[in-house]
Every structure is written in structure tokens, then in C-alpha cells.
Amino acid sequence: MDTLEAEYTNVLAHINGLQPVPGAPWLEFKRRKLQELNDEYRAIKLTMQGYANPRLLLNAPYPAACKAYVRGLAAANDSLIRADWQQLVREQQRNNSIPESLQERFEQEAAAPDWHGHAQVALISFGWWNCINETIRRAEPTEQLYRQYEQLFIGVQSECEDVE
């Protein structure tokens, strides 16, 4: 948690210290980047705290669909944890090129003596986190900002190739 706090403080100070190019679009982009940083920080911090106390996740201001992944953990109900975990595996299978491998891994981990730890990692890291990560408001530069940026310089070189 200390590392997260220190990183957040450093990045926040860096962004706040930036002097954007004058103009409303650049000021708005900076404001949106700060919002993204704050959203992401709160989400990561809550997720980390959720490993120790999953009940915190149920009261968080995120969609009910996200909370469904942690209801068994929050209730400390083993059968509900297993049901939530199996449901997550079914969802993952729909988006995986080798869905049977996910089921095999689930069955091996569910039969292990430390199954609860495997379930907790899967439900919080892949269920809860992936769900709330989608709610973070991302600040993506617009095409207009890209054009304005390129006009600020004599030439702009990029290490990335445009992918179409």
C-alpha cells in the first residue's frame, strides 16, 4: 500500500506540475488525465484492500455486475465462492481460444488444499478488477489534439508505426 501511495503522489505531483499548451483542449485533457489517475488510484487501492476484507468491495461505488464476483468471498460462504468462481471460468471460456484449458485448471485448483486462495485471486484479479477497470474514465487524446500537437513542432517522429 505504501508503494501505491508513493507512486500516486509522485505521478499526481508530476501531472499537476505540467504546464499544458495554452488553450481549452489542452487544459481539458490535463483535467481528464488527473481524473483518470484518481479513478485508477481509488480502484487499485480498494482492490488491494479487498483481498484482506472482501466486504469492502460490496459497498464500493461500482456496478452490481462487478460485485457479483465477490459476493461469496464477502459472505465467507464456500459454496457461493465456488459457484462464483465457476461462473467466472464460464465467462472466460467464451473469450478464450482454448476454453477447455480454463476448465481443467479450475478443476485442478478447486481440488487443491489451498483452493480458497486460488478462488480469491481469480475472483478479485480477473472478475472484480477486469469489471471495475472498464469503469475507469480514460483520457485518450482526440484526433484534433494529435493534429494540434504536430503543429507545435517543426517535425514529429514516432517510434510506433500506425496500425490500421
Q: Alpha-carbon distance 80 to 77, whole Å?
A: 5
pLDDT value, residue 35:
96
**pTM for this structure?**
0.82
| Contact criterion met (CB below 8 Å) for 131 and 63 | yes
| Cα distance between residue 131 and residue 129, in whole Å | 5
Kindly report each contact of residues 32-40 with a partner whose C-beta sits within 8 Å and lies 24 or more positions away, as own/partner.
32/137, 32/139, 33/139, 35/137, 35/139, 36/136, 36/137, 36/138, 36/139, 37/8, 37/11, 37/12, 39/135, 39/136, 39/137, 40/136
The pLDDT value recorded for residue 147 is 85
User: How much is the pLDDT for 100?
Assistant: 84
CA 105, CA 114: separation in Å to the nearest integer?
14
Which is higher by pLDDT, 156 or 46? 46
What is the per-residue pLDDT for 156? 66
Domain boundaries, the chain: 2-140
pLDDT in tens, 2-53: 999 999 999 999 999 999 888 888 899 999 999 999 999 999 999 999 999 9
Render pLDDT for 48-93 as a digit per residue (tens, 0 to 9). Answer: 999 999 999 999 999 999 999 999 999 999 999 999 999 999 999 9
Q: Which three cell numbers stand for residue 40?
A: 485508477
State how far the alpha carbon of 127 is from the alpha carbons of 17, 35, 106, 130, in Å. Answer: 36, 24, 14, 6
Other CB atoms within a 10 A radius of the CB of residue 79 amount to 8
Averaged pLDDT of the chain: 91
